[in-house]
Structures are given as structure tokens and as C-alpha cells.
Amino acid sequence: MPARVIVVGSINVDLVVAADRLPQPGETVLGGRFTQSAGGKGANAAVAAARAGASVTMIGAVGDDAHGRFAIEALIAEGVDTAGVRTVAAQTGVALIAVGPRGENQITVAPGANALVTSDALRFDAEPGVLIANFEIPLPVVVAAVEAAHAAEWTAIVDPAPAHAIPAALLAAGPILLPNEHELTVAIGNDDASTALDELMARHVGRIIVTQGAAGVLLAEGDRRERFPGYPAPAVLDSTGAGDAFCGVLATWLAEGATIDEAIDAANAAAALSVAQVGARAGMPSRTELDAFRKGELPAR
């Protein structure tokens, strides 16, 4: 049976402009190239997990509009089960993304229907799997979903993005936390990332994986601190969605019974591949591509 992954999270449509440089405040930059693609941290992680070979269920919300229909069709095309996605009386979430020449980005999100996500449709199989959640939906929903996963003996991964203080109830449920360095400092209210990690570990009963872009990740597990270097990317065109690719592949490997070290290595490879094409999902690898890349063989795209 394929590994089981459930995602409770955001579903957006990304409106992307790739330009020769990112604008300064108050500045207009002309000459950009526009694309529209399906996005949202939750839906992106769901797609990454599905492409990596997991059986994925998405729980979220969209509006009764063209963007919502587009987003659902994109998930179905990836083999994601969307029975848990509600259509609500709000606009589908939209992300406005500007991408610079080195793949750096600026993102502004109108959450829309994501603010109405509930965990009512959440059901766990008897066989263990992995739950993914993120902070682009209401925090009480994230806490309830993670607590339910803990009770069902499922592993939970929480991507605390966008940056926000982490509720004590969530820390007590012990999910794997997946912040970047900025999200780590905001989560604990400490501007020094190294001491912030120690402070957060003192309050948290689970693992913390701090993503550090091309440098890889830092794992904190009890007294253990270990750095896992990133894979060299084939190209760096757009970093949007790299963290979501990491999250989805990490979940898939863990759901398959891999160790945390093995799962991190695979997730690092997925993140490196994901930045090589423009768009949050365009570069997310299939299982075949990911396996080939980890063996030192660049996949044909």
C-alpha cells in the first residue's frame, strides 16, 4: 500500500511575475513575465507528496469561483483526493508573487477561503501515516488536527509559515516543526536563531528541522544537533515552493517508515530540484526524478 499522507492546509492560486529585479517600496518594475499557477502551502505539499509516491488526501477550502475550480482540477490531475475540500462563501485564496533573477521572491497572500478551513473532514486510517499542516489556515484548526493525529498515533509535521508565535497546545502535541530561520525567531520571540532553537526545544516535545535554503537544514532532536547539507541545485530560477517540496517529500519518506535522517536527505534533494523551474510546483520532482537525482544523475526535463 502507498504511504498515507493527509494535508490540512491552504489552497491558493499563484499570480506570478518574474522580473529582472524585485521592486523597492513604491517602485514599479516593467518588463516582467506573467504566469498563473496553482499554489498554497498546503496544496503544494500535497502535490509534492503525491509525486513522491504517497496516497494523499487534501483537506481545505476554496471559493465558488474560477480560481477555486482551477485549483481543484490541478490537485485532481496530480492524483490528490479532494473529497475533503469544501466550497465556501468566500473568494479562493490568491498569492501575488514577484520573482527576481536569482530565484528570490516577494509574496503577498489574500487568504480568502483558507480562513474558513475546518478539520471536520479529518479521518485517520488504522495504519499509521503522516499529517501535514501549516499556518496559512486558522491556528485553532492546526492545533485540533495535530492533536487528533497524535491521538491516532500518526506523525504530524507543521510548517509554521507564515511566521507566527506557536501556541503551547501545539508544542505539547509534539509535531515535527519545520520553520525557516525567520519563522524560528518569530516563533520564540528571539532574534538570535541559535539561541531561539534551544529555547524552542526546551518548550517542545518533538523534533525541529530548521530549513536554511541552499545550505540545507539543521535537525534538533533532544540533545542532538545535526546539520544536513543541501544538494547543489541544477539551476536556481524560482525558490517559491521549495519548502513545500521539502515538506511533502519528508512526509512521504516518514510515512514509508524511513528514519528522520533518510527522510531529510530525500527532502533536501527535492528542494534542490524544485528551484530549477519557475512556479511553486513546476520543479517538484516525481519519484523517478528524485531517485535519479540522488544517485547523481540529473533527470531529463
Q: Which positions are catalytic? A: 244
Query: In sequence order, what are the residues at sequence separation of 6 or more whose Cβ sits closer than 8 angstroms to the Cβ of residue 194?
Result: none
The Cα–Cα gap between 173 and 156 comes to: 9
Q: Do 163 and 186 meet the contact criterion of CB atoms below 8 Å apart?
A: yes
The CA angle 183-186-192, to the nearest 5 degrees, is: 95
